Amino acid sequence: MKSLIVLFVSLVTAACATGYHPVYRFNEILVVNLSGATILDVDVRIAESPRTLQCQSVAQNAMCYDRFGSRNYPQRGIELGWTPADGSAKRETVNPRIPAFFMAAFPLRIVIEIRDDGSVNAFYEQEEPGRNGGIFISG
């Protein structure tokens, strides 16, 4: 394990010195309802991608998700729309950043949490290679 860490740090150092600019990809969108009530009309649109996610109803503490072939990382934002229990339509654009420790060779999962106060938390997750489903989380 120690040699893998040394190898990884060496590769990152070399990449920084040579101006390496990785191209990240994603293959899953996941919306988590932490709002305390059922939400309706969930709609996620990805900038620069034809990919969308739509769910008519997402129960409290449930998820709405879609998995698909890899797509380039959206650099202009992710647009989220939903209707909370009070019936007012909500819309927000999020643009989570990818941490430096993610590996460009493995696709990311976009995770969007809708919280009880109506705020939105968006981040990326990545399966850790060789760890039987371990996950790196960015936020």
Mean pLDDT lowest among 9-18, 26-35, 39-48: 9-18
Confidence of residue 62 (pLDDT cuts 50, 70, 90): very high
pLDDT in tens, 111-132: 999 999 989 999 988 876 665 5
Say if 110 falls within a structural domain: yes
Q: Tell how strand 25-34 and strand 78-83 pair up.
A: unpaired
Looking at residue 21, its amino acid is: H
pLDDT at 98: 80
Residue 78 · residue 60 · CB < 8 Å: no
Number of structural domains in the chain: 1
Say if 116 falls within a structural domain: yes
**Residue range of the domain that includes 103:** 23-137
Looking at residue 28, its amino acid is: E
**CATH number of the domain residue 124 falls in:** 2.60.40.2890
Say if 121 falls within a structural domain: yes
d(CA 79, CA 117): 19
Give buried/exposed letters for 76-92 (b at 16+ CB in 10 A, else e).
ebbbbebbbeeeeeeeb
